[in-house]
Chains A and B, each alone.
Chain A
Amino acid sequence: MYRISLNKYNTIFWLLFLVGIEVIAQPGDHIYVKDKKGNPIPHAVIRIQKDSAFSVSQEGSFELPLQLDPEVWIEVTAMGYDPQLIKVKDLYARPILNLQEKIGQLGEVVVAATRTDRSVENLPMPVTIIGNEQIQETGGMRLSEVLREQTGLQVVNNHGSGLQMQGLSSDYILILLDGEPLIGRTAGNFDLDRISVSNIERIEVLRGPSSAIYGSEAMAGVINIVTKTSQQRFSATLESRYRTFNTVDMGAEVGFNKDDWSLYAYFNRFSTDGFDLNPEVIGKTQSPFTANTAQFKIGKKLNKWDFKLYSRFYDERSANVMEVRGGSERRLADLTGERLDLNLNPTIRFTPNEKWLLTLRSMSSVFETNTKMRFQENLELLDNQDFRQIYHRTEVQVDHQVAKNQLLTVGAGHLIESVSATRYDDNNRFDAGYLFLQHQWDPTEKWNIVSGVRGDLHSQYGGRISPKLSGMYAFNDKFSWQLSVGAGFKAPDFRQLLLNFNNASAGYYVFGATLVQDGIEQLQSQGLAQQILIDPAQFGTLKAETSTAINTGFRWKLSNDLLITGNFFQNFISNLIETAPVARLTSGQNAFSYFNVSSVITRGTEVDWTYRIADNLEVSVGYMYLDARDMDVLAKIDEGEIFKRDAQNRTRRVTRGEYGGLFNRSRHSGNVKVTYQEPFSGINASLRAIYRGRFGFGDINGNLILDDPSEYARGLTSWNLSINKTFNSGVMLEAGGFNLLNQINLFDPTNPGRLLFVGAKLPLHQLLKTTN
């Protein structure tokens, strides 16, 4: 029976620490394995001398065999912790073993990288883990607020808060929820504000292309959001945060475990008044919105079978105001938006023996949006847009332990995707099938190789083969070097294929690649097209965007308390899809469509330095250098075909040195973080400085590229502080702020300026036990 609550352990531990009572253990007494905070480690393994190894109990305790030589060494290991060697006689003297957590989350298990459980330090590719505690420490409510503090990740505005990784935008980053892809993008962007963080157990950040196991979209990398499951027999927690702009976040979760059944339910309600960076313009920068998130997970273990059913529901309503100008007349219009997201994800796992694991899973999702615009004066409907996307994927995966040092994974899947939208043509179903193969192999103690390949067959853009090879060599316990080479791709999305859009007031048209032929013919028959600008033979041949990338770097564990990791990357992306005019219309405007036009290169380095000065004080520094350029722009500069204007607006040629690369990318970015646990009061503090260097926000001088000092937004540093204390009852109180110095940049609409917050967390299950 699991009777001992977490905080009781804390109390015992601190009592021992403070008073210094030495409890003398006898053979047969319990020895406890705990972390540095005094929480039991139930997955620890004890090895006495070299022969016998056994696990500790659920409470993290074990008994020493009778008549053991006091001079014998005992080794204690646990995943996620540095191993410890101790003599039997020392255990008799003090029957508590406190293991040190591996620095830099090195010991954490990652699923996303190989679709099998592997720890960070055993992966030959750049992976970082953002753990539950770290998420808690940021004080953030939405996923964007947590990710923006990570080295090498930026959150930029593009139809919501979009992620940028290795200089590539949200379009090229696959977002997974418990290993299954999340859908619902606007203009290619996945809005991170759709995800609440209080039910997240950990976030796995995988850099570099991963199309070899995930297919389309996993070109820059993968974010896997792993949500909480119930670990204890019963748990129930309420939490709430309040902050500036009348932002309220309230959550409740309940977990239950019995007879191999597990249940977990979560509900979150978030509401905010939004904020306004530019009060002279009517309407707020961020619309006020209310969002509800609900999640329900049920699982049952039955002998060799493991059944899971995960479901998630998301609903969001926003409102804003905008000004519509017609000639000299200005009228106000109300904007309302609604987003709905439903996911259902059943999984069956079968483990016939320790060498085989079979997984059958599926993900069904619906994503819907509706936006309406109405004139305030007469409620006349000016615009009404609907969007509905349905996604269904079924997949089977077989893992086979071929030998002790070889793990083979084979998977096959099928997906159906369809969209109906106001702006889309009707012909809108995609079918795709895929097959992937992965081999994980440790040829020697020092080598570790992961190779994989995936083939995708798609109804719209044909076939695609994505290979990836990663290897790591451990020079010694402290230093390892890794190299990963892979291919990535992104399929043309529905918008690029099926958009049928006519801006009546501005008089231009945008056609998806499969519609452009018919669209232009229709414009011609109506006498609206004046001149065709692109050879019609090129119509309708949109290919997937492709990339090849190299990631290479090191993990250098100078000591158990000092870690440096570095990664150098280069992504070469070709067949980038952009709009280009296809026809000039009699109105003087253009009709556009999508084409594979340009190629882009992004390269740089990410370095993290983590130092645990003491058990309760840790400092880390992260830095990223990024260089992202459009190769076609460079070629044009070299040919003298790109021009700029001086202060008198006269033309001259742009030089290579003036070219600043892609917009919205910071050449330099970084962070400094300090976390401190005050041992006597139990107060935790976390101070972070997050720097985003200057970046190009848009073209000013008319040549559409970044080449002029006036086109840069200044860099700024956001100082974030959070302080919390967990009481013996388990109640946690917190307060803090984001961007304390109120650094604002008009060109970054995801940054509202200073935010102050307070919050509380009530673990009801612990409170009940305490009162018992």
Chain B
Amino acid sequence: MKKMNALLSSLLILASFTNCNSGEETQPEVPLEAVLVENIHAPNDVIDRTTGQVTEVRPFRYFSLEGNKLVESQGGDWDIGFKGITIIVNSGISGSGSARGTVVSGVFDEMDAVPATANLISDGPNGLAIPTGSGNGWYNYNFTSHVVSPIPGRVLLFKTNAGNYAKVEILSYYQNNPPLADVSGFSTPSAYYTFRYILQPNGSKEF
């Protein structure tokens, strides 16, 4: 099931209206819109848990931040890809593009620029731009409840193939973005990415 909507998050409308009212008239800024992407289904390979062997390989789901759409093949113009709990960028070992990425700490709404310290890298043999493993990148994995929870306060930063910066917050790994309290690690349909992002189309690092 995939469904994509572009809509203004209510918080952002509120924030930008306040800005307009109090802002100076000489700088008419067009507020950037946060895009909500829902339910990208990206199931992982099938793995036999007793042996750790992959029994069925599944493809990544490729996504273009510039076009806000899924891209069908690895050869297309995609920026990021999803499979299971892994997120890749289109460069290095993952693709022929030039996309970069990293994970930083912070609040999505408050992050008004790419931090100077952020080091956006491509996927390399020594690790992906968005690291895997519980607590390393975008998620925590609970070994007892088997719940994958996006770490609050983690913002994913990307540079697209076109050279524009985007900030992304993964909201949920479960179908229809349920509150985490309602998620069961055993029964809630998983590998359904819901995230929101803001792309700065003018090439600057400000959002």
Q: A505-B49, A701-B152 are in contact. Are A647 and B127 (CB under 8 A)?
A: no
Report the nearest A residue to B131, measured CB to CB.
A584
Does any Cβ of A come within 8 Å of B151's Cβ?
yes
For B135, list chain A residues within 8 Å (CB).
581, 590
- Contact between B180 and A506, CB atoms less than 8 A apart: no
A741 at interface (Cβ–Cβ under 8 A)? no
Give the Cβ gap from A491 to chain B, nearest Cβ, in Å. Answer: 27
Q: Does B15 contact A (CB under 8 A)?
A: no
Tell me if A382 counts as interface (CB < 8 A to partner B): yes
| A642 and B142 form a contact (CB under 8 A) | no
The reply on B96 being an interface residue by CB < 8 A is no
State whether A653 and B181 are in contact (beta carbons under 8 Å apart), knowing that A507-B52, A588-B133 are contacts in the complex. no
Contacts of A337 in B (CB 8 A): none
Interface residues of A in 94-146 (CB under 8 A from B): none
A505-553 residues at the B interface, CB under 8 angstroms: 505-507, 530-531
Q: How far is the CB of A501 from chain B (nearest CB, A)?
A: 13
Instruction: Say how far A434's CB is from chain B's closest CB, in angstroms.
Output: 38
Interface residues of B in 5-22 (CB under 8 A from A): 9, 11
* CA gap between A702 and B153 in the complex, in Å: 10
- A649 to chain B: which residues have CB within 8 Å? 150, 171-172, 177, 179-180, 194
User: Which residues in A have their C-beta under 8 angstroms from that of B46?
Assistant: 327-328
From known contacts A531-B126, A581-B135, A650-B171, infer whether A641 and B152 are also in contact, taking CB-CB under 8 Å. Answer: no
Are A699 and B142 touching (Cβ within 8 A)?
A: yes
User: Is B149 an interface residue when CB atoms closer than 8 A count as contact?
Assistant: yes
A326 touches B181 (CB 8 A): no
Q: Check if B50 sits within 8 Å of A643, measured CB to CB.
A: no
B-chain residues with CB within 8 Å of residue A710 when the two chains form the complex: 179-181
In the complex, the answer to whether A325 meets B150 with C-beta atoms within 8 Å is no
CA distance A329 to B151 in the complex (A): 30
Q: CB-defined interface of A582-593 with B at 8 Å, one 1/0 digit per residue? A: 001100111000
A704 partner residues in chain B, CB cutoff 8 A: 140
Whether, in the assembled complex, B145 has its beta carbon less than 8 Å from a beta carbon of chain A, the answer is yes
Chain A residue with the shortest CB-CB distance to B181: A710
| Nearest CB in chain B to that of A505: its residue | B49
Name the one of B52, B126, B144 contacting A530, with C-beta atoms under 8 angstroms.
B126
Residue in A closest to B183 when the chains form the complex, CB atoms: A700
- Size of A's binding interface in residues, CB under 8 A: 40
A650 to B134, CA, bound (A): 20
Whether, in the assembled complex, A49 has its beta carbon less than 8 Å from a beta carbon of chain B, the answer is: no
Q: Convert B114-156 into 0s and 1s, putting 1 for each residue whose CB lies closer than 8 angstroms to a CB of A.
A: 0000000000001100011111100010111100011111100
Q: Give the size range of B's interface with the partner.
A: 35 or more
Beta-carbon contact of A703 and B151 below 8 Å: yes
Q: Are A641 and B181 in contact (CB under 8 A)?
A: no
Q: Contact at B140–A590, with CB atoms within 8 Å?
A: no
What chain A residues lie within 8 Å of B180 (beta carbons)? Answer: 645, 649, 700-702, 710
* A16 beta carbon closer than 8 Å to chain B: no
A668 contacts the other chain (CB 8 A): no
> Does the CB pair A702–B151 fall under 8 Å?
yes
| A584 partner residues in chain B, CB cutoff 8 A | 127, 131, 133, 136
Count contacts between A and B, CB distance < 8 Å.
111
> Whole-angstrom distance between the alpha carbons of A641 and B153 in the complex?
8
List, in ascending order, chain B residues with CB within 8 A of A698's CB: 142, 144-145
Interface flag for B105 (CB, 8 Å):
yes
Q: Which residue of B lies closest to A643 (CB)?
A: B153
Cβ A581 vs Cβ B136 within 8 A: yes
Complex contact A702–B152 (CB within 8 A): yes
Residue of B127, B134, B177, B194 near A531 (CB, 8 A) is B127
What residues of A have a CB within 8 angstroms of the CB of B50 in the complex? Answer: 324, 326, 382, 505
* Chain B, range 96-113, C-beta contacts under 8 Å to A: 105, 107-109
Residue B94 is within 8 A (CB to CB) of chain A in the complex: no
Of A504, A585, A650, most B-chain CB atoms within 10 Å: A650
Bound CA–CA A376/B132 (angstroms)? 35
Residues of A within 8 A of B132 (CB): 588-589
Which residues from chain B contact A531 at a C-beta distance below 8 Å?
Answer: 126-127
Determine if A652 is an interface residue (Cβ-Cβ < 8 Å).
yes
Task: Answer yes or no: B55 CB below 8 A from chain A CBs.
Answer: yes
B86: interface (CB < 8 Å): yes
Chain B hits for A507, CB < 8 A: 52
Beta-carbon contact of B153 and A651 below 8 Å: yes
Q: A327-B55, A328-B46, A703-B152 are in contact. Are A652 and B127 (CB under 8 A)?
A: no
> 8 Å CB contacts to B: which residues of A622-644?
641-644
* Assembly CA distance A345 to B84 (angstroms): 57
B127-A530 in contact (CB<8A): yes
Which residues from A are CB-within-8-Å of B24? none
With a cutoff of 8 Å between Cβ atoms, the chain A residues found around residue B49 in the complex are: 324-327, 505
Tell whether A52 is near chain B: CB-to-CB under 8 Å: no
Q: A324-B49, A645-B152, A651-B108 are in contact. Are A701 and B140 (CB under 8 A)?
A: no
Is B79 engaged at the interface, CB distance under 8 Å to the other chain? Answer: no
B86 touching A588 by the CB < 8 A rule?
yes
Contact A641 B105 (CB under 8 A): yes
- The 0/1 profile, CB within 8 Å of A marked 1, for residues 161-195 of chain B is 00000000101100001011100000000000010
B25 close to A (CB within 8 Å): no
User: Counting CB contacts under 8 A, is A476 at the interface?
Assistant: no
A642 to B181 Cα, complex, angstroms:
18
A444 at the interface (CB under 8 A from B): no
Shortest CB distance A251–B (Å): 36
Question: A588 — which chain B residues lie within 8 A by C-beta?
Answer: 86, 131-133
On whether A651 and B126 interact (CB within 8 A), knowing A326-B48, A642-B153, the answer reads no
Q: Is the CB of A590 within 8 A of B133?
A: yes
Q: Complex Cα distance A703/B140, Å?
A: 8
Chain A nearest Cβ from B153, distance in angstroms: 3
* Across-interface contacts of A699 in B (CB, < 8 A): 140, 142, 149
Select from chain A the residue with minimum beta-carbon distance to B132.
A588
When each residue 549-581 of chain A gets 1 if its CB lies under 8 Å from chain B and 0 otherwise, what string results?
Answer: 000000000000000000000000000000001
In the complex, chain A residues whose CB is within 8 Å of the CB of B145? 698
Identify 7 residue pairs between A and B in the complex whose beta-carbon atoms are under 8 Å apart, listed by A's number: A324-B49, A327-B55, A647-B179, A649-B172, A650-B108, A653-B153, A699-B149
4 smallest A-B Cβ distances: which pairs?
Answer: A643-B153, A588-B132, A702-B149, A710-B181
Known: A649-B179, A651-B108. 9 other contacts (CB 8 A): A327-B46, A530-B126, A531-B127, A649-B172, A650-B169, A651-B169, A701-B152, A703-B151, A708-B181
